[in-house]
Amino acid sequence: MLVSPAIRLLSAFCLIAFVATSASAQDPFWAEKMLDRKDFKFGSVAKGGDATLRLNVRNIYKEDIQITNLGTGCSCVSWDEKTYPIIVPSGKEIALTLRLDTIRYDGERKSAAKVSLLEPTLGSAKTVEIPVEAYIRKDIVLA
């Protein structure tokens, strides 16, 4: 069967476009590349103090990405966001807030914040664990 050069060229173009679009699913670090930080270091915080840090998630891919879950390794930290999925449209950025519980806890805290991402067109899912460190002092801050 003979195939015209135009059909061959079109087929090659479609293959290249498919490979470029699915790059996020093939790269083992596709999810990490969307996050603007590698750790959460709250530093030293007074008991009762308000301590939050932001995580910016930027979708650098052509497909919309879903944040399917946010979790933590202990109840000393929590995410403000509670409803899922959170859609991050292509080319857009959203901010997530991680909060340190300085009321119920004190002393050194080491945990992990977890962000679960999904690229739904190819079904590529990944959970990224980000280390969390804090020291909650026993002195109390009065507002």
Flag whether the pTM goes above 0.85: no
- What is the percentage of the chain residues whose pLDDT exceeds 90? 78
Indicate if the pLDDT at residue 13 is higher than 60: no
DSSP string, 68-93: EEEEESSTTEEES--SSPEEE-TT-E
Distances (CA, A) of 119 to 25, 28, 35, 89, 134: 7, 13, 15, 11, 32
Range scoring the smallest mean pLDDT among 15-24, 42-51, 97-106, 113-122: 15-24
Given this model, what pLDDT does residue 125 score?
Answer: 97
Candidate CATH numbers 3.30.300.30, 1.20.140.10, 3.65.10.10, 2.60.40.10; the one for domain 5-140: 2.60.40.10
- Measured between alpha carbons, how far is 122 from 31 in angstroms, rounded to an integer? 14
DSSP state, residue 141: P
For the residues 79-99, what does the mean pLDDT come to? 98
- Measured between alpha carbons, how far is 11 from 139 in angstroms, rounded to an integer? 68
The per-residue pLDDT for range 44-68, each reduced to its tens digit, is 999 999 999 999 999 999 999 999 9
Nearest to 57 by CA among 99, 108, 116, 16: 116
Given this model, what pLDDT does residue 8 score?
Answer: 64
Indicate if the pLDDT at residue 118 is higher than 70: yes
